[in-house]
Amino acid sequence: MTATTTTIPGYVAGTWQIDPTHSDVSFSVRHMMVSKVKGRFGSFSGSIVTAADPLASTVTAEIDASSIDTNQEQRDAHIKSADFFEVEKYPAITFASTAVEAAGDDYLVRGDLTIKGTTKNVPLKLELNGFGPDAYGGTRAGFTATTEISRKEFGVDIDMPMDGGGVVVGDKITITLEIEAVLQQG
């Protein structure tokens, strides 16, 4: 079944700016083979264009790689270094959608993700949380998106082996986006 504007309650076509104050870009990665470390990025921006046909919608986003926060300054400094993100050479992580597909009640947004100068097409599982008025006379939309990537595929390929086997930092990174966006007027 193809989604249409009539199947999405309150759907509004238009151009939206991500509200970073009410949004979250976070991730988790296996650490020491026994637990997960979570982190987030504090500085990001983006634009979403919801088309009359939702499957023709687009999104672009940019994350300031140096805004990483894992709640531990020494670890953050290491992640910013050439061992991981090399933020002085690659200051931004970007995403540009290439397709939107219906996936049951939700959507799949495919797009080009660029980390550390390497671009790969990745799928984001997207849940449309809703559209509605805000307290300032505007309109807001909410989205939740998730994906899992291999850090090594993006050139973040440091391996720190542990005594007895395994690695300090896992390869699979789970990314979660909680996005609130504001409809642009005019």
Residue 5: the pLDDT is 42
Residue 127 in tokens: 């849940």
Q: How many domains does the chain have?
A: 1
Locate tokens 């637990």: which residue?
Answer: 35
- pLDDT, residue 72, reads 87
- DSSP letter at 7 equals G
Q: What is the span of the domain harbouring residue 161?
A: 5-183
3-state DSSP call for residue 86?
Answer: coil
* Predicted confidence (pLDDT) per residue in 112-166, tens digit: 999 999 999 999 999 999 999 999 899 999 999 999 998 888 877 766 544 454 4
Q: What is the CATH number of the domain that holds 146?
A: 2.40.128.110
Q: What is the mean pLDDT of each run of 10 residues along the chain (186 residues)?
A: 57 96 91 72 98 96 96 89 91 98 94 96 96 92 95 75 50 93 90
